[in-house]
Structure 1
Amino acid sequence: MVKLDVITTRGGDQGETSLGDGTRVRKDTLRIEAMGAVDEANAALGLLRLQTEAEPEADAMLARMQNDLFDLGADLCMPGEGEGRLRVTPAQCLRLERELAAMNAALPALRSFVLPGGTPAAAAAHLARTLARRAERAVVALAAAEAVNPDAVRYLNRLSDHLFVLSRRLNGNGAGDVLWVPGGA
């Protein structure tokens, strides 16, 4: 159970923070950068959910993703291996794949790249997608330097794909997609 009764601890005033195991690290380390990027993606999902209140199925998927991203943050904040540590799992990745495939099956094939836009919900999904990609890049950079759960990278990769397909669904199943016009408007 989580209990937070003191928010301002002043522990980070010197540019350091604590990992889940108590280790103190600089706030500009790769691990903290990755955790921050995951947090940004989660915040973008929260904004996207404000645009999907009339779509209970989409909102439910996004709520699961937000919880998954908290799991991913918990995974990243506990370096190394150990008993009882929360880790992103293959099942979470597979759930994203199943949802993505089901949504994509109802969409027309693309004949052009899609620009971010269309409905406010679709634009918000595109923004969340780009932040999920940023988080993925940050976790990949961390994984090049330290051991990282490979499902963390896999989850973020699937998440950005899912958000792209969701953006098309939120654009009237692709009817309102804003298509790229090479060389100008």
Structure 2
Amino acid sequence: MKIYTKTGDKGTTSLVGGDRAEKHDLRVWAYGTIDEVNSSIGVARAYIKEKEFSEILLKIQKTLFEVGAELASLGTDYYKERIKDEDITFLEETIDKLDGLKPSFNGFIVPGGTVESAHLDIARTVVRRAERCISELKNNYEVSKNLMKYTNRLSDGLYAVARYFDYKDIMEKTKENIEKFNQSGKMEDNCHIEEINKTMLNMTVIDRETAKYIAEKCAEKSHEVGVPMVICITDFSGNITLLERMDDSLLASIEIAMKKAYTAAALKSPTHELREASLPTGELYGINNVEKIITFGGGFPLKINGKIIGAIGVSGGTVEQDMKVAQYGLKAFEGVLTNGITK
């Protein structure tokens, strides 16, 4: 059979069952747009190495043939509903599963974080265009509820898969940068190892007594600065050991201080050092959209011989004031390592 049939030379095309329609018919626009979606997903799948996600997208592509066929049969004697409840359930279960694999993202996401997510975002926007066509078709044809539901869930599903690849890329780059950061600090750590109190080397987590001492020193510096602060001390995994809110400090500073400490512990880096990397030209672009991550000053990891045992986060003033108070707390911690807690 030849690829070209010449039957469309006069501007018409065949619907399911053989009926002819103009190529600008809205039904043709609708199933043609679904064809675009399928092709865009195909490009994304060509870049995806994970078998699980490749199979998810392949299943979606096969279902899209059914979507196109249903659209191409509207208004004909051959029309039948082709999208089933289980097709919609598959998308919903996929979305729910992906939501459990990553933190929540806040704000708008700029497309282009990875090759995979970029192509998936194109497919997602084309799905939205297809939805608009299908919505208009409802004015003239009986469009099934499942068809509308499926295309609506599909855009959400593609968004969820795209964000997974963005998050995965961000985490991989973060790990690489953390390793570089830790490697660059090893020589300096080794130079000071003899100064560290031998009894403190056994500390694996920040204890409450030490956390309280650090917070007291931060409060002293806060009084000197003239701004009431919120001070948060966490363990190595970012879980709160102590949270101190000074009188009249801003309520919003509570959450910010906790996030600064969490970020410093989780990413093993002072929060101000993440700012440049989080910009559009940076290696960690988009990380500031990850829930609980802060990329401005006021958070510092607490280390013993290069090992993270906790973190400090301070909020309440300007970034410079927050950093000044947090750095004072960091020096207090370093003093504990060499001299113990001094009153």
TM tier, smaller: 0.7 to 0.9
Residue in 2 that maps onto 1:17? 13
Distance 2:285 2:30 in 1: 31
Conserved in 1, the CA contact under 8 Å of 2:17 and 2:78?
Answer: no
**Residues 21-60 of structure 1 correspond to what in structure 2 (within 5 A)?**
21-52=17-48, 54-60=49-55
Indicate the residue corresponding to 2:138 in structure 1: 143
Unaligned residue ranges in structure 2 (runs of 5+): 171-283, 290-343
**What is the letter of the counterpart of residue 27 of structure 2?**
R
Greater CA deviation, 67-76 or 104-113?
104-113
Where is the strand percentage greater, Structure 1 or Structure 2?
2
Task: Tell me if the contact between 1:117 and 1:177 (Cα under 8 Å) persists in the aligned partners.
Answer: no
Superposed displacement of residue 126, structure 1? 0.8
Distance 2:33 2:5 in 1: 22
Q: Deviations over 1:99-135 (max 9, x none)?
A: 1110111121122111112111111111111111111
**Residue 167 (str. 1) matches residue 162 (str. 2):** yes
SS at match of 1:118: coil
For the 8 Å contact 1:115–1:179, the answer to whether it is kept is no
CA RMSD of aligned residues (A): 2.2
Percent identity between the aligned chains?
33
Unaligned runs of 5+ in 1: none
Give the distance between the partners of 1:100 and 1:177, measured in 2 at CA.
24
The one-letter code sitting in structure 1 at the alignment partner of 2:36 is E
Aligned-partner residue type, residue 286 of structure 2: V
**1:178 equivalent in structure 2:** 286
Larger Rg: 2
Cα distance in 1 for residues equivalent to 2:149 and 2:126: 15
What's 1:130 paired with?
A: 125
Q: 1:16 to 1:60 in 2, by over 3 A?
A: same
Higher relative contact order (CA 8 A, sep 6+): 1
Aligned residues: 176
SS in 2 for 1:25: strand
Q: Deviations over 1:32-56 (max 9, x none)?
A: 000110000000011011111x111
CA contact (8 A) 2:16 2:73 kept: yes
With structure 1 as the length reference, what TM-score do the two structures score? 0.87
Once residues 20 and 26 of structure 2 are traced to their aligned partners in structure 1, the CA distance between those partners, rounded to angstroms, is 14
TM-score where L is the length of structure 2: 0.48
